[in-house]
Amino acid sequence: MKEQQVKLSKLFKSGRWFGYGLTVDGKLLSNQKEVSFTTTPLGENNSVVVEFECNLSMMADAPDIHLD
């Protein structure tokens, strides 16, 4: 299975900045409740924590992923 690159996108509503969200191929990942950042000193990678709302539709017919 091919991995897809996750992007941190700026969200706009009625032309105004609304926040951030995770996207894949230009599409917003569903069920995102909150996105928060941990900043680090210059030259180090920052961290992003995303909280997802988990519901039955998220688990229904979810594919099994077999890692090599």
> Domain range holding 43?
6-57
Report if residue 24 sits inside a domain.
yes
Report if residue 27 sits inside a domain.
yes
Report if residue 41 sits inside a domain.
yes
Indicate the pTM of the whole model: 0.75
Report if residue 33 sits inside a domain.
yes
Report if residue 64 sits inside a domain.
no
Report if residue 68 sits inside a domain.
no
Quote the CA–CA distance of 53 and 58 in Å, as a whole number: 9
Report if residue 44 sits inside a domain.
yes
Report if residue 29 sits inside a domain.
yes
Q: Give the 3-state secondary structure of residue 59.
A: helix
Is the pLDDT reported for residue 68 higher than 80? no
Tens digit of each residue's pLDDT (9 = 90 or more) over 6-46: 999 999 999 999 999 999 999 999 999 999 988 889 999 99
Given CA atoms 48, 53, 54, 59 in this order, what sign does their dihedral have?
Answer: negative
- Domains held by the chain: number: 1
Reported as a pLDDT band with limits 50, 70 and 90, residue 1 is: low
